[in-house]
């Protein structure tokens, strides 16, 4: 999960501890089987203390999900902005997701379809919006540099690319590790190359 800067106040540290504990508990046991009291015990605080920081169990769950999603996406953003990844940065982005998603149990649980009531909410998390913006910016910069076609709408293509990557990631989580061989990053790279680059002159 994401490692944040150490909060400067005791309250900030307690809130971060609660989020980290909630990610682990909800990710392992799910929303229904987890109580706020469970999470309080994990942090060794009073049963009522979480309600100082979160309005309800639902609020704690959603904020924990956003916290974990931000951690999952943090490493992916570095791939998007790595100018050394010139040709296959989309494949590297996908591979980074696949490599690191198991380190983010709540995000993985939700993307795996085990909390169906919140899947749509998860796909609109601030972290994913940040990823869409980053991919769009990278495409825009590549367009300016003449690396990709100038006639595409990078905001629409960037959003579509993130959607495809998340769909592939969800498929791998739900189908199991053996599906990785069938859902290959080089196929994604070939698709993106065909869509973004002009055909080679004959």
pLDDT digits (tens, 9 = 90+) for 39-69: 999 999 999 999 999 999 999 999 999 999 9
The arithmetic mean of pLDDT across residues 72-90, rounded, is: 79
pLDDT at 87: 61
Q: What is the largest CA-CA distance in the chain?
A: 72
Dist. CA 100–CA 93, nearest whole Å:
11
pLDDT at 189: 85
pLDDT tens digits for 18-46? 999 999 999 999 999 999 999 999 999 99
* Higher per-residue pLDDT: 55 or 79: 55
The arithmetic mean of pLDDT across residues 5-30, rounded, is: 88
The arithmetic mean of pLDDT across residues 139-167, rounded, is: 93
The arithmetic mean of pLDDT across residues 158-173, rounded, is: 93
pLDDT at 197: 84
Helices (H), the chain: 10-29, 36-43, 57-80, 89-100, 105-111, 119-122, 126-144, 154-175, 185-196
Closest CA to 162 of 132, 193, 201: 132
Cβ atoms of 19 and 8 within 8 Å: the answer is no
pLDDT at 1: 38
pLDDT at 200: 67
pLDDT at 5: 44
Dist. CA 97–CA 86, nearest whole Å:
18
Average pLDDT, the chain: 88
Contacts of 95 (CB under 8 A, 6+ apart): 185
pLDDT at 193: 86
pLDDT at 6: 52
Torsion sign across C-alpha atoms 33, 34, 35, 41:
positive
Distances (CA, A) of 179 to 98, 105, 160, 185, 188: 11, 19, 22, 12, 15
């Amino acid at each position: 999960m994401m490692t944040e800067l150490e909060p400067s106040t005791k309250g900030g540290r307690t809130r971060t501890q609660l989020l980290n504990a909630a990610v682990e508990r909800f990710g392992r046991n799910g929303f229904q089987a987890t109580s706020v009291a469970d999470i309080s015990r994990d942090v060794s605080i009073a049963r009522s203390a979480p309600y100082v920081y979160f309005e309800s169990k639902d609020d704690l769950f959603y904020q924990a999900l956003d916290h974990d999603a931000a951690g999952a996406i943090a490493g992916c953003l570095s791939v998007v902005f790595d100018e050394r990844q010139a040709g296959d940065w989309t494949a590297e982005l996908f591979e980074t997701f696949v490599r690191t998603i198991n380190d983010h149990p709540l995000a993985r649980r939700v993307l795996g379809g085990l909390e169906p009531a919140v899947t749509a909410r998860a796909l609109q998390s601030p972290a994913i919006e940040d990823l869409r913006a980053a991919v769009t910016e990278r495409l825009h910069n590549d367009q300016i540099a003449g690396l990709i076609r100038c006639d595409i709408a990078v905001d629409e293509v960037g959003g579509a690319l993130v959607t495809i990557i998340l769909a592939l990631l969800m498929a791998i989580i739900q189908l199991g590790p053996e599906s990785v061989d069938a859902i290959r990053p080089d196929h994604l790279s070939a698709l993106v190359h065909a869509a973004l680059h002009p055909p080679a002159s004959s």
